Amino acid sequence: MTTMTEPIRFAVTSQNFRTITGHAGKARRFILFEATGPDDIAEIGRLDLPIEMAMHGFDDRQSHPLDGVDLLLTGGAGDGFVMRMARRGIRVVRTGETDPVAAIRSCYLGTLKPPAPHDHDHDHGHAHGEGHSCGCGHGH
């Protein structure tokens, strides 16, 4: 009996709809992907949200267009944003990779490029001992 791998929904912060950008808390543009493995990645949509929908000032008691995403890839995010998204069931992964598809592929392969120290939104020591794998290859 063959089992289908459950697809993972990714959101990528991308102010230009081409590359991964940072400032996740203030980001309003996202590319949405669905993937079942490193070689099965498809863009499924784009979000271009009004300023009041940026997570930085958003009321967490309301539903949000990112709800239902499993993993958010970004060039930079503060720990507060990471915790806020975790409460919504969304895992945030910071990366120095700028190509969205390459970043998703690297998640599955466990080779995701870590963010450069200057790529963070805020200067407050982040712990990066997790190996920079988003865990996609572990049956998320």
First vs last C-alpha separation in the chain: 20
d(CA 114, CA 94): 7
Kindly give the parts of the chain with pLDDT less than 70.
Answer: 1-4, 118-140
Tokens of 38: 């490193």
Tens digits of per-residue pLDDT, 53-90? Answer: 999 888 888 999 999 999 999 999 999 999 999 999 99
Q: Which amino acid is at 49?
A: L
pLDDT at position 116: 78
- Give CA–CA dist 30/119, Å, rounded: 18
User: 87 burial class (0-12, 13-18, 19+ CB within 10 angstroms)?
Assistant: exposed
Q: What is the pLDDT of residue 129?
A: 39
Residue 140's pLDDT is: 40
pTM for this entry: 0.83
CA dist 121 and 76 (Å) reads 5
SS3 124: coil
Provide the 10 A C-beta neighbour count for residue 80.
14
In the DSSP assignment, the letter for residue 100 is H
Place of tokens 């390459």: 102
Q: How far is the C-alpha of 34 from the C-alpha of 11, rounded, in Å?
A: 9
Looking at residue 3, its pLDDT comes to 53
- What per-residue confidence (pLDDT) applies to 64? 95
